[in-house]
Amino acid sequence: MSLLPGKAAGRTDIARCRRGPVIVSSVASDAHTWNLVYLQLVIEELGYEVVNLGPCVPDDLLVQECRARLPAMVVISSVNGHGYQEGLRVVQRLRACPELRGIPMVIGGKLGITGGESSGHIDDLLSAGFDAVFDDGTAGIASFRRLLTALSPPEPMLEVAS
Amino acid sequence: MNFGDFVRRCHRAGKLVVQPRMGMSSPARMRAGLLATKNANATTVGTITLDSFTRNGDLASVERALRDGVGLNGYPIVHYDPDVTRAMLDGVMAADFPVQVRHGSARPLPIMKALAAAGLHATEGGPVSYCLPYGRTPLAESVRNWAACCAVLRDSVEGEPHVETFGGCMMGQLCPPSQLVALSVLEAMFFYQHGMRSISVSYAQQTSVAQDLEALAALRRLCAQLLPHARWHVVVYAYMGLYPRTPAGAMTLLGKAAELAVRSGSERLIVKTVAEAHRIPTIEENVSALEHAAAVAGGTVAHAPAREPDGGQVYAEAYTLVEAVLNCGSDIGAALSTAFRRGLLDVPYCVHPDNAGRTRSFIDTDGRLQWADIGSLPLSGVVGRRRSRSVTAADLMEALSHIQRVFDAEALEQANRRAL
Ligand code: B12
């Protein structure tokens, strides 16, 4: 498990890898970490390397890590009730980076403070740039697993022989 | 009257003080929530829980949320002018209804200044417990900030300040009781060293009643030994991890917390509501929780003889941890930093960079929360050896949801039986 990775993979490394890691991250105001630790295990068990950026991740840090690592997916988790507002803000910053436009990005957790976001809020998050929104609910993890499995067949994290 | 003195007076009168964890975006709702707390059929104190933008010093996001009508998860005390908060509290806060500010910030100076300016004097926190579970602020910085905060509290609140340690909660779940007790005592000693004299020490209900009773006995024993000159009391938190989803399960668990508080001789209880597993609770849900806890407490006999009146195994472990930290130096703040660096304190599953992260815990067949891996904790002579194995997502979820499952299953079973 790595929080705040020591060194970012250089460009060439990424180019030679078949696929990048999955980035798991909170948003700037959210301190909860059990969700992050749990998601990391779920994703690792599907054969991915995970970079867990931890709690209270400033927008700049998330953008910087995504640009440096070109992840296979960006998984944002927030449960403190500010996820809607902060998710909207940060996904627009991520999508503004040309190299991140094609990377799958999802958000999930407890995104508002009233227990279940309105479909309007979920649509806002989708149109702002998320590919999927998993707002609270235990079914979320199962469908998230399916999404990640469908993303690419499990492959070992090996360099491509060139 | 000082928050701590009020609680201790109620205790002498045989009343458990119950308190919500409540925070609303707007002054009008916050005032309504405090009034409802005050008028509940229970002996209460009030709470202002702050939103998490304020906790992180992000006032721009507070403004945006208020402008866009997006609900905040607490009361943004730094955003509002002190006069607004004073007016919100006017006629509500009183000698027999003190109000505490709860926040979870490792950079709390602006919050301390705001609460002092608004005439408040009671708060909560600690250099470790408001740092490691609450973000990425370095521990050494948090220690400095909390020392500075004690100075602000000493110098600028009206009357005598009161602080509560949050060390008895660490991460909300899966931290063995001995380390919760040790951290609560050490944070209280930190506060004392920085001039606080009215202090409360916390402990959160865990997975076993017997072990919790031991832990609370250990906490009282250590406080009596190490804080002989402070005026202190013990606050129990209703379970702080994954909460039961069913209303009946949530209320039963809360009732157990109230029993625990009374049986252990604790003075105050912080409640959880039926909404806990789902969303921020309403005012009405908070009032129901307060009244339920008070009713259960009223029917419980104090000081039922604990099986381990001296704190048993929890005391032995907690004493060893506290001693190891105190041996790191006479400045408690610095000693805490050193202890974490050496792994003499190490909170399971806490991913903060200043936590070694080498310890693991498990729930044994009796429901007691035990060490699976002690990492570098100085407990090798005190706890038995165990073989830890790597934890899968399913293992972690099983441990996290243990209490939720037990109480929801019981609630569903009872509902089924009634339906037959
Ligand atoms: C433990 C806990 C804490 C601990 C956290 C310690 C830590 N470092 O993690 C402490 C005590 C520090 C804490 C603090 C706070 N908390 Co808290 N906390 C909880 C609690 C009790 C359990 C959370 C938990 O451990 N979950 C375990 C993980 C594995 O599950 P999960 O988080 O629910 O995530 C699941 C799903 O949501 C989903 N999921 C999550 N993210 C994603 C992402 C994707 C992509 C997918 C597919 C799925 C998914 O998968 C997970 C597994 O099912 C919950 C209430 C509850 N659930 O019982 C409140 C809760 C989350 N907290 C809450 C709040 C508001 C706070 C505070 C702001 C204080 C306050 N006002 O009460 C502060 C946070 C400060 C901040 N800066 O953010 C609220 C959020 C309200 C809302 N959203 O409507 C809750 C719901 C309690 C409540 N009812 O008020 N908390």
- Give pLDDT tens digits for A73-98: 999 999 999 999 999 999 999 999 99
Residues lining ligand 1, Cβ inside 6 A: A 29-35, 38-39, 75, 77, 79-81, 106, 108-110, 113, 134, 136, 138, 140-141, 144; B 21, 23, 49, 52, 55, 73-74, 104, 133-134, 169, 171-172, 240-243, 275-277, 279-280, 400
CA distances from B288 to B17, B39, B270, B415 (A): 15, 12, 13, 20
Residue B357 tokens read as 């992260």
Q: How far is B135 from chain A (nearest CA, A)?
A: 5
pLDDT tens per residue across span B37-80: 999 999 999 999 999 999 999 999 999 999 999 999 999 999 99
Note whether B327 and B344 are within 8 A (CB): no
Residue B224 tokens read as 């009596």
Is A30 part of any domain?
A: yes
Structural domain span for residue A123: 20-132+141-148
Nearest CA to ligand 1 atom 89: B276
Percent of chain B with pLDDT over 90: 94
pLDDT at residue number A153: 55
pTM for the predicted model, two decimal places: 0.95
Please state, in angstroms and rounded to a whole number, the distance separating the CA atoms of residues B216 and B208: 12
Sign of the four-CA dihedral B233, B119, B167, B43:
positive
Please state, in angstroms and rounded to a whole number, the distance separating the CA atoms of residues A43 and B393: 9
Is A162 part of any domain?
A: no
Note whether B176 and B356 are within 8 A (CB): no
For residue B172, list chain A residues with Cβ-Cβ distance below 8 A. 34
Is A10 part of any domain?
A: no
**B226 Cα: distance to centroid of ligand 1 (angstroms):** 34
Tell me whether residues B392 and A45 touch, CB distance under 8 A: yes
Note whether B170 and B131 are within 8 A (CB): no
> Closest residue of A to B66, CA-based?
A85
pLDDT at residue number A9: 35
Q: Tell me phi and psi for residue B382, to 5 degrees.
A: -105, -35
**Most B-contacting residue of A35, A75, A113 (CB-CB within 10 A), to test interface:** A113
pLDDT tens per residue across span B300-309: 988 655 566 7
What single DSSP character describes residue B362? E
For residue B171, list chain A residues with Cβ-Cβ distance below 8 A. 33-34
Q: Which of A57, A82, A114 sits opposite B53 (nearest CB)?
A: A82
pLDDT at residue number B193: 98
Give the number of other CB atoms < 10 A from CB of residue B194: 19
Please state, in angstroms and rounded to a whole number, the distance separating the CA atoms of residues B280 and B301: 32
What single DSSP character describes residue A109? E
Residue among A90, A75, A68, A91 nearest A6 (CA): A68
Q: Which of B53, B172, B396 sits opposite A37 (nearest CB)?
A: B396
Side chain identity at residue B419, one-letter code: A
Residue among B162, B182, B144 nearest B99 (CA): B162
Report how many Cβ contacts below 8 Å link chain A to chain B: 101
Tell me whether residues A85 and B61 touch, CB distance under 8 A: yes
Q: Report how many domains make up chain A.
A: 1
Note whether B30 and B23 are within 8 A (CB): yes
CATH classification of B3-298, choosing from 2.40.50.140, 3.20.20.240, 3.50.50.60, 3.40.50.150?
Answer: 3.20.20.240
Locus of tokens 């209490």: B403
Chain B interface residues (partner A, CB cutoff 8 A):
51-53, 55-56, 58, 61, 64-65, 68, 70-73, 104, 133-136, 171-173, 275, 278-280, 349-353, 357, 391-393, 396-397, 400
> Closest residue of A to B390, CA-based?
A41
A118 falls in which pLDDT band (50, 70, 90)? confident
Is A62 part of any domain?
A: yes
pLDDT tens per residue across span B263-293: 999 999 999 999 999 999 999 999 999 999 9
Query: If contacts are CB pairs under 8 Å, which of residues 53-112 in chain A contact chain B?
Result: 54-57, 80-82, 84-86, 110, 112
Buried-state track B310-339, b at ≥16 Cβ within 10 A, e below 16: ebbbbbbbbbbbbebbeebeeebbebbbbb
Which helix (H) or strand (E) covers residue B294, if one does?
A: helix B283-298
Average pLDDT over residues A51-56: 98
Q: Where are the beta strands (DSSP E) in B103-143?
A: 122-125
Please state, in angstroms and rounded to a whole number, the distance separating the CA atoms of residues B72 and B374: 39
Q: What is the ipTM of this complex?
A: 0.97
Nearest CA to ligand 1 atom 32: A35
pLDDT tens per residue across span B217-265: 999 999 999 999 999 999 999 999 999 999 999 999 999 999 999 999 9
Locus of tokens 């705040």: A4
- The CATH number assigned to the domain holding A125 equals 3.40.50.280
**B362 Cα: distance to centroid of ligand 1 (angstroms):** 21
Compute the CA torsion angle B253, B254, B260, B266 (nearest 10 deg).
Answer: 160
Please state, in angstroms and rounded to a whole number, the distance separating the CA atoms of residues B139 and B124: 17
Q: How far is A92 from chain B (nearest CA, A)?
A: 16
Q: Is B222 helix (H, G, I), strand (E, B) or coil?
A: helix
Which atom of ligand 1 has the smallest separation from the CA of A38? 29
pLDDT at residue number B163: 98
